[in-house]
Amino acid sequence: MAFALHINMERCTGCNNCVVACPVDALELYTLDPVTDEKIYKVKNGKATVLDFNAELCAGCGVCVKACPYDVIQLTGRWETGSKPLVEEEA
Ligand code: SF4
Ligand code: SF4
């Protein structure tokens, strides 16, 4: 896998900008129903709970990183060339 996204869900507002911006639909925002485990809604109480990332689809274009108004997304892998090293935060 060439790319990995690091998403700080504490800061994600669920605005959906990154999902819409991704040209290959590699991102999906949802919240799991605690009982059925089904994907039920995208945002709960103003917070997204899961931003799913499909590494198989991701082209590493960085569009989602730029689309996020809150600098929540960091992309590592081939695209990080020329950018500062990224440190993964513990959830
Ligand atoms: S880097 Fe590009 S292809 Fe990958 S998830 Fe972000 S917008 Fe989509
Ligand atoms: S653009 Fe940023 S704040 Fe909005 S849903 Fe994506 S990661 Fe969350």
Q: How many CB atoms lie within 10 A of CB 46?
A: 8
Among protein residues, the one whose CA lies closest to atom 2 of ligand 1: 61
Q: What is the pLDDT of residues 11-29, one digit of tens each?
A: 888 888 999 999 999 998 8
What pLDDT, on a 0 to 100 scale, did the predictor assign at position 25?
92
- CATH topology for 3-74? Alpha-Beta Plaits (3.30.70)
In this predicted model, what pLDDT tens digit does every residue of 45-82 receive, in sequence order?
666 667 788 888 998 999 999 999 999 999 887 644 44
Ligand nearest to the CA of 42: 2
| Residue 12: CB atoms within 10 Å | 20
What Rg, from alpha-carbon coordinates, does the chain have? 13
Q: How far is the CA of 12 from the centre of ligand 2 (A)?
A: 5
Please give all residues whose beta carbon lies within 6 A of any atom in ligand 1, as ranges: 21-22, 24, 26-27, 58-64, 75
Distance 78 CA to ligand 1 centre (A): 12
Can you tell me whether residue 61 is helix, strand or coil? coil
DSSP sequence for 40-91: EESEETTEE-EEEE-TTT-----HHHHH-TT--EEEEEGGGTTS----PPP-
Q: Is 48 exposed, middle or buried (0-12, 13-18, 19+ CB in 10 A)?
A: buried
Q: Whose CA is nearest to atom 6 of ligand 1?
A: 64
